[in-house]
């Protein structure tokens, strides 16, 4: 190790002088750039026996933040942010920049505080000689096993830029699919929320305006106008703070129970079984799962991951506990000597086309390419299913809203007509 004396400018343009021990001048320059220092001059002082004093590391605070960030299971970075980072990493590596310089550049340019803390920690570990996959392993909430495995394959093969590029394409495809699903659910969700609010407003504010008149009219509301009687009862319930408090508490309790259950394998299994059994929606979920499975599996195989290990990685990233368990069963069957297409058919969770294309890929020796084509096909199928579902939901929602409005109109109008008829008879 050699001792270097340097002069540099910090990120605010202030001069910084100091000494640092490094293996060579290139490592020293990487150290300075990573710590947001622009080198002006570097002078070698000689061999080092003791560690010389170094300036305060500007990234120490972000490293501490990253340690806390990694230790908390509840903190993570959005998939969108991770996808953008992966694409930037792939592009920069393809440009020929060294890995440490790339991480330093992305650390300096990112505006996301959480990602900046993570990149700061990655840079520190890389400076100490750790591999990128090992450094990312400290953040399992951000980089899942599939992500780290592809990085590790790239490091072992010496083709990290290519593997990161494939990973970026995979994540971008998954993000595009997720956006389509969210966009399709946005309109029904808005209509459902609007309908709920409108119904409550009519029950809580409209019906009480007419209830005194109906009760004072002398009409037998319960016998002659059951619809109006039902609305008046609902109005009393909706305007009672204690009753509404119970309803709100039950709703909150339901969603909390659902959230807690979704964090445990047994709970996720039950929830995912219910999702798959819902008419029409269950078929769409199966198509989405097939697309995700085929694309992830293809990417892992193209990167050189062994078949059984690739299945294990895909199972963890499937997003559905039922599918994950079936895929794990497929992996065990393959270890027992069965063909992939046969075990996928026995799993009884994937569409026939995926199984047939897998069988063709096995016979032709082009399984990754076939799976990629299947993934493209099911992407289109999901888009068509979403479009069909949206087309059916729009008129269905309008019918529901019209029906609710009709109920309230009839519930209010019929007693008024009865009162008018009684007045005419008296005259």
Residue-wise pLDDT tens digits, 192-218: 888 889 889 889 898 888 888 888 888
More confident residue, 360 or 18: 360
Statement to judge: residues 39 and 85 lie in one domain: no
pLDDT score of 294 more than 70: yes
Beta bridge partners of residue 41, listed in sequence order: 7
Output the pLDDT for position 312.
81
Q: Is residue 242 part of a domain?
A: no
Statement to judge: residues 80 and 43 lie in one domain: no
Structure tokens that stand for 40 in this block: 């002006």
pLDDT score of 29 more than 90: no
Output the pLDDT for position 58.
42
What's the pLDDT band for 86 if we cut at 50, 70, 90? very high
Of 87, 117, 143, the one marking the end of a domain is: 143
What's the pLDDT band for 425 if we cut at 50, 70, 90? low
Element (H, E) at 23: none
Mean pLDDT value across residues 352-363: 87
Statement to judge: residues 292 and 376 lie in one domain: yes
Q: Is residue 168 part of a domain?
A: no
- Answer whether 82's CB lies under 8 Å from 171's CB: yes
- For the question of whether the overall pTM of this predicted structure is more than 0.75, the answer is no
Structural domain including 9 reads 2-47
| Cβ neighbours around 135 below 10 Å, total | 21
Structure tokens that stand for 177 in this block: 């699919």
- Is the C-alpha dihedral spanning 179, 103, 152, 164 positive or negative? positive
Q: Which of 99-108, 153-162, 249-258 has the lowest mean pLDDT?
A: 153-162
pLDDT score of 404 more than 80: yes
Find the DSSP H helices in 202-351: 207-216, 221-224, 226-238, 241-262, 265-277, 281-302, 307-316, 321-335, 340-347
Tell me what percent of the residues of the chain surpass a pLDDT of 90.
7
Number of domains in the chain: 3
Q: Is residue 204 part of a domain?
A: no
Unique residue bearing structure tokens 């209509």: 191
Mean pLDDT value across residues 310-325: 78
Q: What is the secondary structure of 341-380 as a DSSP string?
A: HHHHHHHT-S-HHHHHHHHHHHHHT-HHHHHHHHHHHHHH
CATH number for the domain including 352? 1.20.81.30
**Mean of all residue pLDDT scores within the chain:** 81
- What does R_g of the chain's alpha carbons equal in angstroms? 31
More confident residue, 349 or 89: 89
Output the pLDDT for position 76.
67
Q: Is residue 101 part of a domain?
A: yes
pLDDT score of 131 more than 50: yes
Q: Is residue 105 part of a domain?
A: yes
Of 117, 143, 169, the one marking the end of a domain is: 143
Output the pLDDT for position 12.
67
Output the pLDDT for position 252.
94
What's the pLDDT band for 49 if we cut at 50, 70, 90? low
Euclidean distance between CA atoms 40 and 179, whole angstroms = 47
Mean pLDDT value across residues 311-327: 79
93: Cβ contacts below 8 Å, ≥ 6 apart: 99, 102, 160, 161, 164
373: Cβ contacts below 8 Å, ≥ 6 apart: 357
Statement to judge: residues 35 and 97 lie in one domain: no
Closest listed residue to residue 308, CA positions, set 269, 337, 350? 337
Of 143, 164, 186, the one marking the end of a domain is: 143
Q: Is residue 388 part of a domain?
A: no
Find the angle CA(62)-CA(65)-CA(66) to the nearest 5 degrees. 85
- Answer whether 24's CB lies under 8 Å from 2's CB: yes
Q: Is residue 241 part of a domain?
A: no
pLDDT digits (tens, 9 = 90+) for 229-276: 899 989 998 888 998 899 999 999 999 998 898 888 888 888 888 888
Distance of alpha carbon 343 from the chain centroid: 29
pLDDT score of 69 more than 90: no
Cβ density class 250-266: b for 16+ within 10 Å, e for less: eeeeeeeeeeeeeeeee
Q: Is residue 347 part of a domain?
A: yes
Strand order, beta sheet including 2-9: 15-22, 2-9, 38-47
């Amino acid at each position: 190790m050699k001792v270097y004396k340097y002069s540099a400018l910090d990120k605010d343009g202030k001069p910084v002088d100091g000494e640092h021990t490094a293996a060579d001048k290139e490592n020293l320059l990487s150290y300075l750039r990573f710590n947001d220092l622009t080198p002006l001059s570097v002078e070698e002082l000689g061999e080092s026996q003791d560690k010389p004093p170094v300036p305060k590391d500007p990234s120490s605070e972000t490293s501490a933040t990253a340690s806390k960030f990694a230790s908390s299971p509840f903190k993570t970075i959005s998939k969108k942010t991770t996808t953008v980072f992966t694409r930037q990493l792939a592009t920069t590596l393809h440009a020929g920049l060294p890995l440490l310089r790339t991480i330093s550049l992305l650390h300096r340019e990112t505006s996301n505080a959480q990602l900046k803390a993570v990149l700061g920690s990655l840079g520190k570990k890389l400076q100490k000689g750790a591999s990128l996959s090992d450094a990312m392993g400290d953040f399992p909430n951000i980089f899942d096993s599939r992500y780290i495995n592809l990085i590790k394959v790239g490091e072992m093969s010496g083709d990290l830029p290519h593997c990161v590029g494939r990973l970026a394409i995979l994540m971008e495809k998954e993000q595009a699919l997720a956006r389509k699903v969210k966009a399709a659910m946005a309109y029904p969700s808005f209509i459902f929320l609007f309908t709920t609010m409108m119904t409550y407003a009519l029950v809580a504010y409209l019906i009480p305006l007419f209830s005194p008149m109906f009760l004072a009219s002398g009409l037998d509301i319960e016998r002659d106008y059951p619809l109006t009687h039902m609305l008046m009862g609902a109005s009393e319930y909706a305007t009672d703070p204690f009753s509404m408090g119970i309803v709100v508490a039950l709703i909150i309790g339901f969603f909390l129970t659902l959230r807690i259950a979704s964090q445990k394998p047994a709970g996720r299994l039950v929830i995912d079984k219910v999702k798959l059994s819902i008419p029409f929606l269950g078929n769409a979920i199966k198509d989405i799962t097939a697309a995700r499975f085929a694309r992830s599996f293809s990417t892992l195989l193209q990167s050189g991951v062994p078949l059984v290990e690739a299945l294990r990685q895909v199972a963890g990233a499937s997003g559905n506990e039922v599918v994950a368990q079936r895929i794990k069963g497929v992996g065990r069957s393959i270890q027992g000597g069965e063909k992939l297409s046969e075990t996928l058919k026995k799993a009884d969770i994937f569409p026939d086309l995926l199984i047939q294309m897998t069988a063709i890929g096995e016979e032709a020796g082009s399984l990754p390419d076939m799976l990629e084509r299947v993934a493209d096909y099911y992407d289109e199928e999901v888009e068509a299913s979403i479009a069909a579902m949206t087309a059916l939901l729009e008129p269905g929602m309008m019918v529901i809203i019209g029906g609710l409005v009709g109920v309230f109109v009839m519930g209010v109008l019929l007693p008024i007509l009865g009162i008018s008829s009684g007045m005419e008879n008296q005259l």
